[in-house]
Amino acid sequence: MSAVLPPEPLFAGLFDDASALVGATLQETLESRARRVGTPEATYVGSLLLPPRMVRPALATKGALRIAIVAGLTDDIDQFIETAELVSAHRRHELVGLHVPYSPTWREALNLLVPVVVRLPAGGAGLDALDEFSGSGPMIRAGIRSGGEHAAGSAELAAFVRGCALRSVAFQLAGGLGGAITGEAGRHGPGMLNMLLATKLALRERSVEDLTAVLRQDDRELVLTHIRGITEDKALQIRRLFRSVSYADVRTAVQDLSSHALTAAAS
């Protein structure tokens, strides 16, 4: 008997492709994307994240890309907007989002009329900034690092997710997560399934301590049981809040799901 699969909306487009931000060339990134087209893996991959310097070359390629542009700390906001406008005006390619650091000029990115992910600083200052986004609607999302250098710890992630839920602010994560389930061999930080379950609790206004405990939960069977028990309606609610998490290698993220028989190809 095949394992019960969670509803498709729980994982659809969950993993943004950040390979171009962490060393891959544009050609390597686009070749990987081309190999995914028409495969089950493509279901789970969301936006293509590009730094501003790769945008013009990307627009000259064939096909139709769904591009989110990621500004660095030192990028000039006016030049960044000009680059984004090139994508917005293109006939084939689509601008699907902008990622900007939290700064006095971040609101200028709203002029492009696409979702803007504002990357918050670590610590209490980032959580305080969430108040600025409260009631702003779906065009403003909060961002925080969940993996890699300067990643938030479990307690800070729990406070962040709860803060977003209380303010009805969608969020996106950067840097990946620690495998499918917290504590898997050779992986660090909360697992992606733990993050989905923590988001579910945040929507029920559970405490930061409760969310932290879920993010640290390493009981494989317990986590999988709760994931498989999520209904389609609840999955949609979770993903309206938790929009995506970026990975340097989205294939690894999909393989993490498959290793627990959570994808159609693995079931």
Give me the pLDDT at residue 1, please. Answer: 41
Q: What angle do CA 41, 45, 49 make, to 5 degrees?
A: 140
CATH architecture label of 8-257: Alpha-Beta Barrel (3.20)
Residues 193-245 have pLDDT tens digits of 999 999 999 999 999 999 999 999 999 999 999 999 999 999 999 999 999 99
pLDDT at 126 over 90: no
Burial of 131 (0-12, 13-18, 19+ CB in 10 A): exposed
Q: Residue 205 burial by CB count (10 A; 0-12/13-18/19+): exposed, middle or buried?
A: exposed
Average pLDDT, the chain: 92
At residue 25, the pLDDT reads 96
Q: The whole model's pTM is what?
A: 0.94
